Amino acid sequence: MSFQTLFTKMEDHTLIITINRPDKLNALNKQVMQDLDAVMDRVYKFPEIKSVVITGAGLKSFVAGADIKEFESLSKEEATAVAKKGQNVFFKIENSPKPVVACVNGFALGGGCELAMACHFIIASESAVFGQPEVNLGIMVGYGGSQRLTQRVGKGRAMELVITGKTINATQAMNYGLVNYVVPQTELLDKAFSILRVSHEKAPIAVGNSIKAVNAAWNEAENGYEKEATLFGECFVTEDCKEGIQAFIDKRQPHFKGH
């Protein structure tokens, strides 16, 4: 895979996606968003990719926000279109049937925080900083941050962060429920892989359906309980379900094949 703004690497069935604009603190510009959209298409398509890690190049920043220079002359209509495009890219990440982990190695501000929250969970380095400082520029969150931040940390804390533009450190983020783990910078990928390797041992359809069911809890257009029951039923027509049940009866490890 070759992209202008991303470096990609396959390791142990995990696609590591590194946003590679360190001179701009990995800010999200139009090309980055296009590349993220394209690489996620490949994640959906290729069965050899069982999980994804998203991180930023360098030691200072995951993603320090959007590339503000691209916002200078936007009209109301153009700005709305930019926000909707960003939301669609992040929906594609959030709805991935393969686990997507954000390894936040520094600043995760504005669009960077929104990107991290679109991932299924977040592992942060001890030096990570989170925030939605858009109000400092006279604008507001636009890539789904108002919704996902509220889902993750609750209305009160989300409201405080988006109306003040304040930032929080990694420990605060974990206390808020925004981050799953805080580890030393050098252990970010190791922590992610320790979790993802476990998920790789599970039936891919069951993993994907579990992701869909959890996401349904936050989708007002769906009844999460009905969605869960339907997805539960779908698992029972798979060969992996038969294998898993038989392996349990035989007291052996199952060998799942993804169908």
Q: Based on the fold, state whether residues 169 and 209 are members of the same structural domain.
A: no
Last residue of a domain, one of 199, 223, 240: 199
Residues above pLDDT 90, as percent of the chain: 89
- Torsion angle, alpha carbons of 152, 154, 160, 162, to 10: 40
With respect to residue 135, please indicate whether it lies within any of the assigned structural domains: yes
Residue 259, domain member (yes or no)? no
* 142 located within any domain: yes
- Among 78, 114, 187, 234, which one carries the catalytic annotation? 114
Rounded mean pLDDT, 33-47: 98
Is 255 contained in some domain? Answer: no
> What pLDDT does 259 receive?
83
Which CATH number does the domain housing residue 112 bear? 3.90.226.10
Pair (192, 244) in one structural domain = no
The reply to whether 168 and 229 lie within a common domain is no
CB 123 within 8 A of CB 135: no
Domain with 104 in it: 6-199
Residues 232 and 192 in one domain: no
**210, 194: one domain:** no
Instruction: Give residue 135's pLDDT band: very low, low, confident or very high (50, 70, 90).
Output: very high
256 occurs within a structural domain: no
Sign of CA pseudo-dihedral 5, 56, 116, 9: positive
Quote the CA–CA distance of 242 and 256 in Å, as a whole number: 10
Same domain membership, residue 102 and residue 31? yes
With a cut of 90, say whether residue 2 has pLDDT above it: no
Task: Note whether residue 116 is domain-resident.
Answer: yes
Within 4-143, residue ranges assigned H as helices are: 30-45, 76-94, 111-118
**pLDDT confidence tier of residue 222, bands split at 50, 70 and 90:** confident
Asked if 102 contacts 119 with a C-beta cutoff of 8 angstroms, the reply is yes
Instruction: Identify whether residues 186 and 106 lie together within a single domain.
Output: yes
Give 16-25 pLDDT, tens digit per residue: 999 999 999 9
> From the candidates 11, 70, 134, 201, which is the catalytic residue?
134
- 142 with 218, same domain? no
Query: How many domains does one find in the chain?
Result: 2
For residue 258, pLDDT over 90 is answered with: no
E strands in 126-255: 129-131, 167-169, 181-183
CATH number of the domain residue 239 falls in: 1.10.12
Give the residue from 175, 199, 223 where a domain finishes: 199
My answer on whether 58 and 107 are in the same domain is yes
What's the pLDDT band for 209 if we cut at 50, 70, 90? very high
Rounded CA separation 32/62 (Å): 13
Rounded to an integer, the average pLDDT of 122-135 is 98
Q: If you average pLDDT over residues 141-154, what whole number do you get? A: 97
Kindly state the percentage of the chain with pLDDT values over 70: 100
Average pLDDT over residues 230-256: 91
243 classed as catalytic? no
pLDDT at residue number 96: 98
Residue 233 lies in a domain: yes
For residues 44 and 5, the answer to whether their CB atoms sit within 8 Å is no
One domain, residues 179 and 215 = no
Q: Is residue 1 part of a domain?
A: no
Do 162 and 234 share a structural domain?
Answer: no
Which of 8-12, 29-33, 116-120, 215-219 is predicted with the least confidence, judged by mean pLDDT?
215-219
How does pLDDT run across 65-115, given as a tens digit for each residue? 988 889 989 999 999 999 999 999 999 999 999 999 999 999 999 999 999
Within this chain, do residues 123 and 159 fall inside the same structural domain, yes or no? yes
Whether 114 sits among the annotated catalytic residues: the reply is: yes
pLDDT tens track for 57-75: 999 999 999 888 899 899 9
Contact (Cβ atoms closer than 8 angstroms) between residue 32 and residue 5: yes
**pLDDT for 134:** 96
